[in-house]
Structure 1
Amino acid sequence: LPVSMHCWQGDDVSGFENPEGSLTGGIQATGNYPGKARNASELRTDLEQAMRLIPGPKRLNLHAIYLESDTPVARDQIKPEHFKNWVEWAKANQLGLDFNPSCF
């Protein structure tokens, strides 16, 4: 069975929806551990390294707050194109993607 790794394990639940925003909604993470990924490209690189060390088939659980856009996007305006780079990366790395709407 594939193991689905949560994307937030690489940046302590900060995401890229609002880089200057704070974690809210009862999240029990600080969002400030040293060396965390600062953008989606760094997170993908970190995930590749982690997945090289984890045996067996894998998937990535991708939260909505990990969308990629040059401008802020309200959650009710998120579209598939905001995850284009993630889909291309997953295909290149033979990974399945699980989507999480980030309801917090």
Structure 2
Amino acid sequence: MSDSSTPEYSPFVTPESPGERMGFDGCDVHVVHHDPGTEREEHTHGEEHIIFIRAGRMEWSVDGEAHETGPGDTVVTPADVPHGWKVLGDEPSQVVCVTAPPEPESEPGER
């Protein structure tokens, strides 16, 4: 962990896990839930992301290329590359997102 003031976190992530953020030296780990029908238009930022799809179906677009993703899939979004997503179907999605360097303005469970 990056320092002793960082809140406790869950060492295991299951489909029932709440949204949370774990800070480590050089990166953050976010567990994020997205409701059906939610989406984020293409955007860029200075952080790298590695996204692990845990539950639900999503369409991810990275640098103009779109793919439908599901549990077990991984999405890599380099810094400053346009990317976006939307939840497909009637089920919520859950992702584990590793961000480097940490995003200073994000909140637990937010993406």
Q: TM-score, normalised by structure 1?
A: 0.23
TM-score (norm 2): 0.22
Between structures 1 and 2, the one with greater helix share: 1
Which has more strand, going by share of residues? 2
